[in-house]
């Protein structure tokens, strides 16, 4: 059964399931969820713990099955943890996981915890995952998106007795904090803990309110943001020009390949052109998006941009993408800057104008 991450704590208080599956690509949140499950299990007498990491096609699943079917001489209850970093257990693993799921039903002596990366739709509808989900609780751990990050930071600060100033100053502080840690949630967590050490809140000390000023946050929080080209694409389509500039600077500083950044921008431009051509041919926008495999966040962004974008704008963008393709591969193009990152910035800003117009 699916359980939202935000509901996991209350679910654990009501009682333990025999099996938990955590899947997602946010290491901090997955680690915290696993720690919460372990703590709840220890409180109920699960004192023995065995851990297995599935690596390679020839992993010996018999050891996992044996551990799940036996108890220690020193404990009545045990936790079996299985990590599958690839998300692909293989044929033998699929069979073994289904056996573990079957054995977990009604078993109060063994708690099984399976940890996986983000899974695609096909995997989540496969036999082994369906069996695990049916035998216990599965928790999908989604990343904290940029728009959610200031509120997440505020909640984490509140948990350690701290807060930012009220009103516009506080919002500016949270936005600054989010800009410094975007894409790096583990580092964000560490920066929040650092503020707790630098400006501790002591019980009974009326002079310490726990309120953090913008200057205190600016002085303490390091620039540990990490960006990827897929988030850059969303920022460009959303018309977030200042964020686009920060992301391009960050990607360049991190040594990202300009050709990969160009590919992400060009893919969006080509997809916009294909969907617009389909609309011109009489297809409804939702059908055209579906046929071009546009969904999720990008689907909403395309739905805003395409009704306002005309054929001439998209044709110019397509030509610009072709010219920048040559630049990132070492060619010189008239009327375009020679440095690849400057050319990419111009192309990104041209595409971002469509997003700004659609706001």
Helix, strand or coil for residue 141? strand
Residues 49 and 64 in one domain: yes
CATH code for position 154: 1.10.8.60
Residues 125 and 80 in one domain: yes
* pTM (whole model) above 0.85: no
Q: What integer is the mean pLDDT of 90-95?
A: 92
Cα gap 27→30, rounded to integer Å:
5
CATH code for position 43: 3.40.50.300
Domain final position from 98, 121, 141: 141
What are 235-279's pLDDT values in tens digits? 999 999 999 999 999 999 989 999 999 999 999 999 999 999 999
Q: What integer is the mean pLDDT of 202-207?
A: 57
Domain final position from 165, 188, 220: 220
Q: What integer is the mean pLDDT of 191-207?
A: 79
Residues 76 and 100 in one domain: yes
Residues 197 and 249 in one domain: no
Residues 11 and 134 in one domain: yes
Residues 243 and 346 in one domain: yes
Q: How far is CA 29 from CA 274, 339, 352, in A?
A: 38, 39, 32
Instruction: Give the count of domains, the chain.
Output: 3
Predicted confidence (pLDDT) at residue 25 exceeds the cutoff of 60:
yes
The confidence score (pLDDT) of residue 223 equals: 85
Residues 199 and 234 in one domain: no
Residues 105 and 150 in one domain: no
Residues 211 and 259 in one domain: no
Predicted confidence (pLDDT) at residue 345 exceeds the cutoff of 50:
yes
Domain final position from 185, 220, 255: 220
Residues 19 and 86 in one domain: yes
CATH code for position 287: 1.20.272.10
Domain carrying residue 353: 229-357
Residues 250 and 215 in one domain: no
Long-range contacts formed by 116-120: CB under 8 A, 24+ apart = 116/21, 116/22, 116/23, 116/84, 116/87, 117/23, 117/24, 117/25, 117/85, 117/86, 117/87, 118/23, 118/24, 118/25, 118/87, 119/23, 119/87
The confidence score (pLDDT) of residue 129 equals: 95
The confidence score (pLDDT) of residue 54 equals: 93
The confidence score (pLDDT) of residue 206 equals: 47
Higher-confidence residue of 183 and 202: namely 183
Residues 179 and 91 in one domain: no
What are 270-308's pLDDT values in tens digits? 999 999 999 999 999 999 999 998 988 899 999 999 999
Model confidence band, residue 72 (pLDDT cutoffs 50, 70, 90): low
């Amino acid at each position: 059964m699916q359980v939202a991450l935000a509901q996991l704590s209350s679910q654990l208080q009501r009682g333990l399931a025999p099996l938990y599956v955590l899947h997602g690509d946010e290491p901090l949140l997955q680690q915290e969820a696993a720690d919460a499950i372990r703590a709840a299990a220890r409180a109920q007498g699960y004192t023995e713990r065995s851990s297995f990491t599935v690596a390679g096609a020839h992993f010996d699943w018999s050891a996992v099955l044996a551990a799940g079917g036996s108890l220690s001489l020193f404990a009545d209850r045990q936790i079996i943890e299985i990590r599958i970093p690839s998300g692909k257990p293989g044929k033998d693993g699929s069979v073994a996981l289904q056996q573990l799921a079957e054995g977990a039903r009604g078993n109060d002596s063994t708690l099984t915890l399976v940890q996986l990366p983000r899974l695609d739709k096909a995997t989540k509808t496969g036999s082994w995952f369906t069996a695990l989900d049916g035998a216990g609780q599965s928790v999908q751990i989604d990343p904290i998106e940029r728009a959610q990050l200031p509120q997440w930071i505020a909640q984490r600060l509140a948990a350690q007795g701290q807060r930012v100033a009220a009103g516009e100053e506080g919002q500016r502080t949270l936005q600054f904090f989010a800009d410094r840690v975007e894409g790096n949630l583990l580092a964000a967590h560490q920066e929040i803990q650092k503020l707790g050490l630098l400006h501790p809140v002591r019980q009974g000390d009326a002079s310490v309110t726990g309120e953090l000023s913008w200057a205190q946050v600016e002085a303490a929080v390091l620039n540990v943001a990490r960006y990827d080209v897929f988030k850059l694409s969303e920022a460009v389509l959303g018309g977030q020009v200042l964020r686009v500039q920060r992301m391009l600077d960050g990607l360049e500083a991190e040594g990202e390949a300009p050709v990969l950044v160009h590919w992400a921008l060009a893919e969006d431009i080509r997809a916009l052109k294909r969907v617009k051509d389909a609309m011109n041919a009489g297809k409804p926008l939702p059908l055209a998006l579906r046929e071009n495999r546009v969904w999720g966040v990008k689907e909403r962004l395309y739905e805003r941009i395409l009704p306002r974008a005309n054929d001439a704008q998209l044709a110019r963008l397509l030509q610009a993408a072709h010219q920048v393709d040559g630049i990132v591969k070492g060619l010189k193009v008239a009327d375009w800057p020679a440095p690849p990152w400057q050319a990419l910035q111009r192309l990104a800003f041209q595409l971002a104008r469509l997003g700004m117009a659609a706001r």
